[in-house]
Chain A
Amino acid sequence: MTAAAMSIGEFRGYLAGQIGRAPESIPLDAALRTDADLDSIEMFLLVIAVEDLGVQFPEELLAHVVTLEDAYHHYVTQLGHR
């Protein structure tokens, strides 16, 4: 991981802001589509927001990102590989 990586709390706050939600409405371990009830537009904006942090979100990975923790894990892993 690089020194520039966000904490998971910062990561959640950033993504929530990008999709127009309160951070508390997206619990870290909640399934984004079902438990947190993100709709298609919010899921799209979430992926774009993660990519704006400089990490790629491959299509085949999207199906495996269930929770915000999954997205954060991908984020820090990708940062560490840059």
Chain B
Amino acid sequence: MPTDHDYLYQLATHPDITWRWRYRGQSIGYDTFLQQLWGGTLVHFVVERRDGGQRVGYVQAFDASERHGWCHFAVMLDPMLERSGWAIECLALFFNYVFTAWNFRKLYAVVLENNYEELHSGAGTWFITEGRLAEHEWFAGRYWDLVFLTVRREDWEPSGPALVAKLTERPAGPVRETA
């Protein structure tokens, strides 16, 4: 919704987030941000706390190819919630939504090597690592690898829906559609 735009702009340009979101630290005007918020977007949600509805993040599916059966996804969460596990909870709900609504085979995420460390324990179970561009991006005094992660439907379906059912048995839903 338009009432979310200011929040999303502040989140995307937050000093702790901007370098790993698509802007990679570059200044971005508000109008340009709003245009890009919708550019290539398949579906996106603002993430909210169940207890009180406070906004805590954003999740997006974009650059979809329905012909080939894949799309990309990304998530940004309030920096205060880093390593709290909340990103994984909202992604589980989001994967379930996307795999239910579209017949995708694969959901891709592209993350910087240091951001990958936040997720590395899930390699082989939650996702597979399909590719790596060595020393691809410059940040903070060195070059970092860019890692391509894939969540495959065949890996998601045996356990993902049951996990989501467990999560949604808790009080109220944590996400709502934006715009």
Q: What residues of chain A have their CB less than 8 Å away from a CB belonging to chain B?
A: 19-20, 33, 38-48, 56, 58-60, 62-63
CB–CB B119/A39 < 8 A: yes
- In the bound complex, do residue A39 and residue B84 qualify as a contact, i.e. CB atoms below 8 Å apart? no
Distance in angstroms between the alpha carbons of A45 and B89 in the assembled complex: 9
Interface residues on B, range: 20 to 34
Stretch at the interface among B57-65, B120-128, B138-146: B120-128
CB distance from B86 to the nearest CB of A (A): 8
Q: Is B147 an interface residue (CB 8 A)?
A: no
Residues of B within 8 A of A (CB): 49-51, 80, 82-89, 117-122, 126, 163, 166, 170
* Interface pairs A-B: 7 shortest CB-CB: A44-B85, A43-B85, A44-B88, A41-B122, A33-B83, A40-B118, A41-B121
Q: Are A40 and B50 in contact (CB under 8 A)?
A: no
Which single member of A39, A46, A59 contacts B51 (CB below 8 Å)?
A59
Contact between A59 and B118 (Cβ–Cβ < 8 Å)? no
A contact face: mostly helix, strand, loop, or mixed: helix
Partner of A40, one of B83, B166, B170: B83
Please judge, given known A-B contacts A46-B85, A48-B166, whether A40 and B51 are in contact too, CB under 8 Å: no
Q: Pick the contact of B84: A20, A43, A56, A58 (CB < 8 A).
A: A43
Least Cβ–Cβ distance between A65 and chain B, in angstroms: 9
